Structure 1
Amino acid sequence: MVKNALQAQLLKAGLVDNKKAKKLSKQAVHEQRTGQSEEAELKAKIAQDKQEKLAKDQALDLEKKRLLQGKELKAAIIQMIHQHKIMQTDGDVSYQFIDESKIKKMYLNQQIYNALVSGSLVIAKDGESYAILPKALAERINDKMTGFIIVNNSEKNEQITDEEDPYAAYVIPDDLMW
Structure 2
Amino acid sequence: MASLQEQFLKAGLVNKGKAKQVQQDKSKQQKIDRRHGTQSVDEAKLAAAELQRKNAERARELNAQRDAAAQQKAIMAQILDLVQKNRQSKGNGDIAYNFTHNSKIERIHVSNKVQEHLMAGRLVIVRIGDATELVPRIIGEKIAQRDAALVVQVKRAAEVDPDDPYAAYQIPDDLMW
Which letter maps to 2:119?
A: V
Q: 2: distance between equivalents of 1:74 and 1:20? A: 71
Which residue number in structure 1 is paired with residue 60 of structure 2? 58
Note the aligned Cα RMSD (angstroms). Answer: 3.1
After TM superposition, give the deviation of residue 173 of structure 1 in Å. Answer: 6.1
Q: Deviations over 1:5-54 (max 9, x none)?
A: 64343245353455642332222222443444455x64455445434432
Q: 1: distance between equivalents of 2:49 and 2:98? A: 64
Which letter maps to 2:87?
A: K
Percent identical: 29
Aligned pairs for 1:147-166 within 5 A: 147-154=149-156, 156=159, 158=161, 160-161=163-164
After TM superposition, give the deviation of residue 127 of structure 1 in Å. Answer: 3.1
List runs of 5+ in structure 1 lacking aligned partners. Answer: none
List runs of 5+ in structure 2 lacking aligned partners. Answer: none
1:133 is aligned, of 132, 135, 138, to 135
Structure 1 pair 158–173 and aligned structure 2 pair: CA distance change class (3 A): farther
After TM superposition, give the deviation of residue 149 of structure 1 in Å. Answer: 0.8
1:122 is aligned, of 121, 124, 137, to 124
Q: TM-score, normalised by structure 1?
A: 0.75
Runs (4+) off by over 6 Å: none
Which residue number in structure 2 is paired with residue 93 of structure 1? 95
After TM superposition, give the deviation of residue 125 of structure 1 in Å. Answer: 0.8
1:82 is aligned, of 78, 81, 84, to 84
Q: 1: distance between equivalents of 2:173 and 2:104? A: 17
Count of aligned pairs: 170
Q: 2: distance between equivalents of 1:5 and 1:143? A: 67
